[in-house]
Structure 1
Amino acid sequence: MANYWFISPQYRQHGRLALFTFLLAFVVILLGAYTRLTDAGLSCPDWPHCYGYITAPHTNAQIQMATQNYPLAPVDVKKAWTEMTHRYFAGTEGILILILAFSILFARKAKDLKSAGIALGLIGLLFVQVMLGMLTVTEKLKPVIVLSHLLTGLSLLSLLWWAYLDLYLRNDRLFATQLPTRITPWIGAGFIIIALQITLGGWVSTHYAGLACVDFPYCNGQLLPAMLWDRLNTDLITIHMLHRLGAMVTGVYLGALGLYLATVKSFRVTGAVIITLVILQITLGILNIVWLRPVWVALIHQAVAILLLLTIITAWVKASLVKGNHHDSRIS
């Protein structure tokens, strides 16, 4: 019988904390996206304060003082509150991550490498994320820093979700069926593909290239405009089109993977979810272009991309646990 590392009541509590921390991390990422989409990223010119205050300046005296101290950064109260709300949620998220990580590290039965790896990974990613959050402001939204900030946040989210899944998905009754051979590498490839596509989407967002092409399937009247590969950091049309081409590859691969998983008994729901999310994401991507990127569509577009990533992670963890359970049953 396998010696499962999560069976103590302490780990059940860790699982609930991991789920809550994960949900808050999801909210923080969407708040960050909303901040970026509404051009509120530099509404507070300093960090971690906002014009020297712990809240956005809102009284007449505060606004006057902020204007005097930061003459090159006019005060926009609404946008400043948007930025500070994101910071408040992110700060709360950081505290919860530390509580979760140290509770795992100091739990009596958390001496295996997996649990220690989860805890240390959370702490390390949190430290990097805080530094990137500061640099995002001090470096004036430099695209590579903003993208790194987004990807680190997604890494934290993914690790929290993986930790929760590993706590609660390992159930022999759920994985009694045989798993098709060599399915795990195909799921792993799906993870790499969706991660790369999200990176391309982040590159589009940080360069504000979402409206570089304003029609579909054409790009400003051309089916395939000239791609300036030596200007991937500056040419907005190239950045936009690279994301479109990546979307085609991602849609085809994940669609095929979802169809295949839907034929596997213990993965039918996962496969159906992947197919549904792929169709929804393609639709949102098109609407994002033809409707000229309304904020709510862009937000849902990012949320669905994250849900796709998490669904692939779910399939990957499930496949790994099925393989592990069958291996343990053969040993016993």
Structure 2
Amino acid sequence: MRRALTALATAAAIAVSAGAAWADGQLNIYNWGNYTSPDLIKKFEKQYNVKVTVTDYDSNDTALAKVRAGGHGFDIVVPSANYVQIWVKEGLIAEARPDQMENFKNVDERWVNVPWDPGRHYTVPWQWGLTGIIVDTSLYKGDINTSSIFLDPPQELVGKINVAPEMNDVLFTTIKYFGGKWCTDDRALLKKVRDKLVEAKPKWIAMDYGTIEKFASRDYGAAFYWNGAALRSREQNPDVRFGYPKEGFPYFMDSVALLKDAKNPENAKLFMNFIMDPQNAALISGFAKYANGIKGSEQYMPADMKGAPELIVPEQYQKAGEFLETCPPEVHDLYTKIWTELQK
């Protein structure tokens, strides 16, 4: 979900050049903003003599709409877990069979038979994490392990809260705040969810992706955001801490998939195998600061990631986290109506 971590423009293309002859072709990657390690790309380009272009998007829905429209020119996309089956059912991604690739042996067993891609016939792990609470503790000294930080904000944080503009994450967490279950169609509960979000929104400063730099400048006091961004924010502002909402929070995993209409499918498969190498997976994590699902990558991680509290869910909160399922269309429509109203 992962994740768009700065306010980069949607679909802003960045080409990384190693200055060599590109006799072996190209690879066009469509990924979340500020989520792709330049060092990883340079290494892949040098090893395979392939020119790589990375284009950014800001949400799962943005990526899905762009590819559905056709004529995009991308080879690879990186959808979140609860979107993978949408891509599969619509015939937008190919059955690349990463489970038959040389480096698949490095995928942690936890991430092989996943509900969204059993046996990994379509996707390769990229990064995983969770959405929780980031707080500048120089402003607020109370409990940060609660969704009330953005749903019923303490006075110290009113007008200083950013909320990630991710419909599923926000609605999941708010539904859990009221003790409900994800994919519920309980109209009475959903009215509470809608009313609470509409009530809370005027107390927020933004619903945006540009969070890391805002904590560095202390323009934000809190955020409902992703744990990797929290780690990066703490590196720039030592007062930043990350909280795990005890009422419930969503886990995410973003995975690399080969687009059905890719122009460079063999280079895409090379890249899928490449990122299952532990040293290369560590480059991915070292840049965006999320775990990756590849065994043995830990030994190559940067020192600041080893033991980082943003990456280790405390035991008492582990059961509060859930991976989001893909809700039935009629339920998704209900959620979209709430989200649309919140955007007004």
TM-score, normalised with respect to structure 1: 0.23
Structure ranking higher in helix proportion:
1
Structure ranking higher in strand proportion:
2
TM-score, normalised with respect to structure 2: 0.23
Where relative contact order (Cα < 8 A, 6+ residues apart) is larger, the structure is: 2
